Amino acid sequence: MSEFVMDANWLHWHQSPSKPVFKLPAGAVDAHCHVFGPGNKFPFAPERKYTPCDASKQQLWDLRQYLGFSRNVIVQATCHGADNSALVDALEASNGLALGVATIKEDITEAELDKLHAAGVRGVRFNFVKRLVDALPFNSLKRIADRIVSRDWHIVIYFESQDLPELYDFFTSLPTTLVVDHMGRPDVSKPVDGDDFALFLKFMQENDNVWSKVSCPERISIVGPDNNYLDVVPFARKVVEHFPDRVLWGTDWPHPNMKSHMPDDGKLVDMIPLFAPTAELQQKLLIDNPMRLYWSK
């Protein structure tokens, strides 16, 4: 039995997702997902902002097979802090079918970075979403970026659109490839061709080291699942069509901190052809881009 009890308002991931109608191309990568615990084996971090239910590597592999993906990129979730044990355990058990993004602190040694690389880590994640961290990680990110650039690792950044203006200069000063989670969480009540989203597009346009995950319509949408998250489509489609070689897609399973509802992972897959309407765009989004960013190092 785990000593951890999930938060009272925690929503468990969908127990019977639909089978996607969209048939994923062979070799497709789910490039944003997490494992949680199990808490009795991989305790959650004392500084965490939430206590989730367990979500094990085997449950992730089962979902991968059910949806029709071939590979996963597992991203360290904030509930595990900078203890990457659960992530490393999953990567090592994956037979090369999963690579990962870790959270690290500045005092990490080169030998520890070597070990993470050997396990399958290819990037580090820094969280600028204020509800998920105690302090924004400017200084440590800069110093870590200078260390990982020689390894050809990248940095995953998670922020919300209202914070991009103040973060912009800092992000553009970083030396590595930058991968933005969930399109920088655009406010989809605003126009897709308005000033807010224009700043995000400029960020990608003027910095060819910036990539974006076109993920998490369920977090971004205002119209919600009953309307198939359709308000997110113009935003994702614009990013995919403008930057087809720098986009990734992921389920975000097991969907931490979803409070309004739990998405049906099969229905999320069915949004892919709305985001990337041609076979060529789908090939880049689901296979070529993640294979180049993760599996070629």
Q: What is the smallest separation between the CB atom of 86 and ligand 0GY, expressed in angstroms?
A: 12
Calpha distance 59→15 (Å, rounded): 11
Name the residue nearer to ligand 0GY (CB basis): 160 or 241. 160
Q: What is the smallest separation between the CB atom of 172 and ligand 0GY, expressed in angstroms?
A: 22
Name the residue nearer to ligand 0GY (CB basis): 94 or 127. 127
Instruction: Establish whether 196 is a catalytic residue.
Output: no
Name the residue nearer to ligand 0GY (CB basis): 146 or 251. 251
Calpha distance 80→33 (Å, rounded): 14
- For the chain, give the number of residues: 297
* Residue among 54, 196, 252, 265 flagged as catalytic: 252
Name the residue nearer to ligand 0GY (CB basis): 89 or 191. 89
Q: What is the smallest separation between the CB atom of 278 and ligand 0GY, expressed in angstroms?
A: 27
Which stretches of the chain bind ligand 0GY, using CB under 6 A? 77-79, 132, 181, 219, 252, 256-257
Q: What is the smallest separation between the CB atom of 76 and ligand 0GY, expressed in angstroms?
A: 7
Which active-site residues does the annotation give?
252
